[in-house]
C-alpha cells in the first residue's frame, strides 16, 4: 500500500491494507449499537443544553434502539454489556498476530458515527498487546461520543481533558497522562514563507487596510455558517469605525464544510472579500495555514480548532453569540474552554454591536502586536503542564513506557459468549431488526417489505439467488427509472447521479466498471449546468438512497443493482474494454457515440 503524500517522506513506515469486513456479522451490526451508546452519552447532565447536537445523534440511531439511547441507567448498562459481548474481528486478530506489534496506538478512537477502531483495541486486548490513545484534537472526548473500549493508556494535552475522561467516560486516573498539544510541535517552529505584500497581492487586497480572517467551522458545529456570515459581513461593512468597515476579509471555510458556503460563492463575493479556493484547503498543510494567519490582523470564528493555531501565533480571536450559531457554541463543552481556560482566548460579544467594538479595538493595534489573551490561553491549554518544551518527546517516552507493560490476553467469559449468541439470533431472525449501517449520515428506519421487518439473513449478499424476486419488486421503480436515463429518454436526476456514484466502487470489481464510468460522466456533465439548485437535491437524494439501501447490506444491495438493474451494460462494457485496448482516444469516441438503442428497459 502506498503511503499518503503527507507521510511519503517519513522513513520506517509500513502501510498495511486491512481486509474487507463485509462478511462479518458484527461489522454490519456493531455500529448500530455504538451509535445508540453515543446518543446515550449526550444524555449526561453535563450536556443538558446540547439539545441540537443530541438531536442529530438521536436521528441516526436505529429506531429499534432508541429506547436504550435515552440515557437511562438500565439502557446504559445494557448497551455497555452488549459492547463487551461484541467480539473483535478474527481478521484483525490474524493481522496483529502476523505483525507482532509491541504496542497498538489508536487515534482518534472516539467517533459519533462509527466505532470501527474499537475493534482494534479489542483485538489487541485479546492478544495481550498494550494499547494507547494519543489525543489528536481538543474536543475528542467531549463532542464525539463514548469510548467503547478503553485502552491501557490515554495521552492528553491538559487538565481539561483529564477531567473529561474521568467525569464523562469513567476512565481510571492511572491510565491518563498529560503531555501538552504534541501535534503542534512542528507548527510552533514554522515561519512565514510568503511576504506580506505578496500575500495581499495574491488575494487582491488593499495593502493599506487591515485584514480579518474568518475561520470556518465544521458541519456539526455550524451547518448554516454561510447564513451567519452574511449577517456578520453586513454589520462589518456598516461599522462606524473606518478600519473595520474598510477591512479586507479573507474566508477560510472548514475543509469538510464547504457546502455551507456554496450559495454565497455562486452569487459572487462582495468587494474586499476573498474566499480561499476550497480545492487547496488541506488539513495536513500546516505551512499554508501558518502563512494565512501570519499576515492577518484579527481572526473571527464560531467554534473551530483553527483558533488554536491562531492562539499559537498570538493573534486576537473574536466571536459573537448568535442564534444561528448557538448549537456550536453554548451547547458544546469545548467552547467553554475558549472562554474560560487561562482567562479565556476569545473576545466574546453578546451581539454584533459589541462585537464591532471589540473588532475596532483589535484592529487599532500595531501590525505585529501579540495578543495577551492568546499567550495566556496557549500556556494553560496547549503547552506541556510541567513546562516541558518538547511535547512530542514527552509523549514518546510515555509510549515506550506503555509498550513495556506486561499484559495477559483477555478472554471472553461464558456470560458474554451467551449474550453474543443471543444477540446474533435475535438480529438474524428479525426479532431485533437492526439496520446495517450503509450511510451513517442518513441512517434511517429499518426497511420493511409488506409491513414486516426484514431478517438479517435476507440482507446478506449470499442470499441474493434465493430472494431475487423479492429484491426485484423492491427496486423495480428505480430499475425502470435508470433504464430511461440509459436509453436517453430523460436527463439524469440528482438521485440518478448519487445512485451511480454509489454503484461505482462496487462496479470497479466487476465487468461493468467501464460502462458505469461512462454513465457517471454523463450524469456529472448534465448536472453541471444547474449546479447551484442541484446541491440541495443531491443532499436529499443521498438520504433517499440510504433509505432505499439501508435495510440490506451495502455490498448486497449494490450487487443486486449491478446484476439486475443494468444488465444491458454488458454489451457496452465489452465494447469499451476492446476500445481501451486500442487506446484512450478510441475509448472516448466509442463512449461518446453509444446509441440509445443499446439499452433496453
Sorted by where each starts, the structural domains of the chain and their CATH numbers stand as: 5-172+390-403 (no CATH), 187-382 (3.40.50.2000), 440-598 (no CATH)
CA distances from 529 to 161, 347, 495, 523, 524 (A): 48, 43, 16, 11, 9
Does 116 have pLDDT greater than 80? yes
CA distances from 311 to 294, 344, 346, 354, 394 (A): 11, 11, 10, 22, 22
Residues in the chain: 601
Nearest alpha-carbon partner for 72 in 32, 98, 50, 44 = 44
Nearest alpha-carbon partner for 283 in 6, 8, 10 = 6
What is the model's pLDDT at position 124? 96
Does 211 have pLDDT greater than 80? yes
pLDDT confidence band for 10 (50 / 70 / 90): confident
Chain mean pLDDT for the chain: 78
How many Å apart are CA 65 and CA 24, to the nearest integer? 21
Which secondary structure element, helix H or strand E, spans residue 192, and what is its range? none
Contact 152, 402 (CB under 8 A): yes
- DSSP reduced 3-state for 95: helix
How many Å apart are CA 287 and CA 198, to the nearest integer? 15
pLDDT confidence band for 553 (50 / 70 / 90): very low
Contact 211, 247 (CB under 8 A): yes
For 595, half-sphere exposure in the C-beta direction (CA atoms, 13 angstrom radius) is 2
Contact 112, 148 (CB under 8 A): no
For 459, half-sphere exposure in the C-beta direction (CA atoms, 13 angstrom radius) is 31
For 389, half-sphere exposure in the C-beta direction (CA atoms, 13 angstrom radius) is 1
pLDDT confidence band for 301 (50 / 70 / 90): very high
CA angle 584, 517, 596 (to 5 degrees): 95
CA distances from 569 to 231, 320, 576, 586 (A): 50, 55, 10, 18
Lowest mean pLDDT among 125-129, 458-462, 482-486: 458-462
**Are β-strands 452-453 and 448-449 bridged in parallel, bridged antiparallel, or unpaired?**
antiparallel
Lowest mean pLDDT among 117-121, 225-229, 335-339, 467-471: 467-471
Using left for φ > 0, alpha for ψ between -120 and 50, and beta otherwise, residue 5 falls in: alpha
The pLDDT of 482-504, averaged and rounded, is: 70
Nearest alpha-carbon partner for 230 in 277, 280, 268, 281 = 268
Does 216 have pLDDT greater than 70? yes
Using left for φ > 0, alpha for ψ between -120 and 50, and beta otherwise, residue 314 falls in: left
The pLDDT of 167-187, averaged and rounded, is: 94
Phi, psi of 285 (to 5 degrees): -90, 85
DSSP state of 301: E
What is the model's pLDDT at position 244? 94
What is the model's pLDDT at position 235? 93
How many Å apart are CA 522 and CA 72, to the nearest integer? 51
- DSSP reduced 3-state for 134: strand
Who has greater pLDDT, 78 or 114? 78
Who has greater pLDDT, 49 or 210? 210
**83-118 per-residue burial string, b: 16 or more CB within 10 A, e: under 16:** bbbbbbbebbbebbeeeeeebbbbeebbbbbebbbb
How many Å apart are CA 68 and CA 58, to the nearest integer? 11
pTM over 0.85: no
Q: For residue range 140-166, what is the model confidence (pLDDT) as tens digits?
A: 898 888 999 999 999 999 999 999 999
Phi, psi of 448 (to 5 degrees): -135, 140
CA distances from 255 to 44, 71, 194, 227 (A): 30, 33, 22, 18
What is the model's pLDDT at position 227? 81
DSSP state of 280: G
- What is the percent of the chain where pLDDT is above 90? 39
Q: How many CB atoms lie within 10 A of CB 55?
A: 12
Could you give the strand order of the β-sheet that contains 346-349, starting from the edge strand earlier in sequence?
273-275, 248-252, 211-215, 298-301, 317-320, 346-349
Does 371 have pLDDT greater than 70? yes
Who has greater pLDDT, 507 or 483? 483
Amino acid at each position: 500500500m502506498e503511503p499518503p503524500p503527507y507521510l511519503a517522506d517519513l522513513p520506517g513506515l509500513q502501510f498495511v491494507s486491512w481486509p474487507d469486513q463485509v462478511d462479518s456479522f458484527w461489522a454490519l451490526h456493531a455500529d448500530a449499537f455504538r451509535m445508540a451508546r453515543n446518543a446515550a452519552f449526550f444524555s449526561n447532565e453535563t450536556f443538558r443544553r446540547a439539545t441540537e447536537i443530541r438531536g442529530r445523534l438521536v436521528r441516526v440511531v436505529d429506531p429499534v434502539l432508541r429506547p436504550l439511547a435515552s440515557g437511562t441507567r438500565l439502557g446504559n448498562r445494557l448497551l455497555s454489556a452488549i459492547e463487551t459481548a461484541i467480539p473483535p474481528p478474527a481478521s484483525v486478530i490474524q493481522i496483529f498476530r502476523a505483525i507482532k506489534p509491541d504496542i497498538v496506538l489508536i487515534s482518534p478512537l472516539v467517533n459519533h458515527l462509527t466505532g470501527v477502531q474499537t475493534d482494534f483495541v479489542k483485538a489487541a486486548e485479546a492478544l495481550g498487546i498494550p494499547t494507547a490513545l494519543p489525543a489528536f484534537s481538543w474536543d475528542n472526548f467531549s463532542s464525539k461520543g463514548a469510548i467503547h473500549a478503553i485502552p491501557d493508556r490515554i495521552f492528553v494535552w491538559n487538565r481539561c481533558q483529564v477531567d473529561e475522561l474521568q467525569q464523562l467516560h469513567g476512565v481510571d486516573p492511572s491510565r491518563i497522562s498529560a503531555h501538552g498539544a504534541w501535534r503542534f510541535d512542528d507548527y510552533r517552529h514554522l515561519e512565514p514563507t510568503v511576504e506580506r505584500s505578496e500575500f495581499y497581492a495574491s488575494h487582491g487586497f488593499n495593502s493599506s487596510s487591515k485584514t480579518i480572517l474568518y475561520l470556518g467551522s465544521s458541519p456539526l458545529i455550524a451547518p448554516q455558517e454561510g447564513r451567519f456570515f452574511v449577517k456578520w459581513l453586513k454589520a462589518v461593512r456598516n461599522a462606524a469605525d473606518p478600519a473595520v468597515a474598510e477591512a479586507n476579509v479573507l474566508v477560510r471555510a472548514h475543509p469538510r464544510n464547504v457546502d455551507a458556503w456554496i450559495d454565497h460563492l455562486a452569487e459572487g463575493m462582495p468587494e474586499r472579500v476573498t474566499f480561499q479556493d476550497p480545492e487547496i484547503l488541506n488539513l495536513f498543510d500546516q505551512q499554508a495555514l501558518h502563512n494565512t494567519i501570519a499576515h492577518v490582523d484579527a481572526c473571527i470564528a464560531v467554534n473551530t480548532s483553527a483558533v488554536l493555531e491562531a492562539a499559537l501565533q498570538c493573534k486576537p480571536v473574536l466571536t459573537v453569540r448568535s442564534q444561528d450559531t448557538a448549537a456550536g457554541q453554548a451547547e458544546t463543552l469545548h467552547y467553554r474552554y475558549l472562554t474560560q481556560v487561562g482567562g479565556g482566548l476569545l473576545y466574546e460579544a453578546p451581539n454584533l454591536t459589541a462585537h464591532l467594538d471589540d473588532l475596532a479595538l483589535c484592529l487599532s493595534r500595531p501590525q505585529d502586536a501579540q495578543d495577551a489573551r492568546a499567550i495566556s490561553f496557549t500556556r494553560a491549554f496547549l503547552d506541556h503542564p510541567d513546562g516541558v518544551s518538547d511535547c512530542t518527546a514527552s509523549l514518546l517516552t510515555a509510549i515506550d513506557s506503555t509498550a513495556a507493560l506486561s499484559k495477559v490476553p483477555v478472554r471472553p467469559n461464558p456470560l458474554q459468549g451467551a449474550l453474543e449468541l443471543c444477540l446474533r439470533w435475535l438480529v438474524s431472525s428479525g426479532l431485533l431488526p437492526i439496520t446495517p449501517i450503509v450511510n451513517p449520515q442518513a441512517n434511517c428506519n429499518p426497511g420493511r417489505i409488506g409491513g414486516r421487518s426484514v431478517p438479517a439473513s435476507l440482507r446478506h449478499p449470499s442470499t441474493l439467488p434465493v430472494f431475487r424476486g423479492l429484491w426485484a419488486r423492491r427496486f423495480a421503480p428505480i430499475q425502470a427509472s435508470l433504464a430511461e436515463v440509459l436509453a436517453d429518454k430523460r436527463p439524469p436526476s440528482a438521485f440518478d447521479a448519487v445512485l451511480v456514484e454509489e454503484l461505482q466502487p462496487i462496479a470497479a470489481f466487476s465487468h461493468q466498471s467501464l460502462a458505469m464510468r461512462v454513465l457517471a460522466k454523463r450524469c456529472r456533465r448534465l448536472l453541471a449546468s444547474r449546479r447551484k439548485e442541484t446541491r440541495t437535491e443531491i443532499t436529499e437524494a443521498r438520504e433517499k438512497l440510504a433509505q432505499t439501501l439501508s435495510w440490506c447490506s451495502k455490498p448486497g444491495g449494490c450487487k443486486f443493482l449491478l446484476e439486475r438493474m443494468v444488465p444491458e451494460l454488458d454489451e457496452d462494457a465489452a465494447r469499451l474494454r476492446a476500445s481501451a485496448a486500442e487506446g484512450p482516444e478510441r475509448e472516448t469516441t466509442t463512449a461518446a457515440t453509444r446509441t440509445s438503442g443499446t439499452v433496453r428497459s
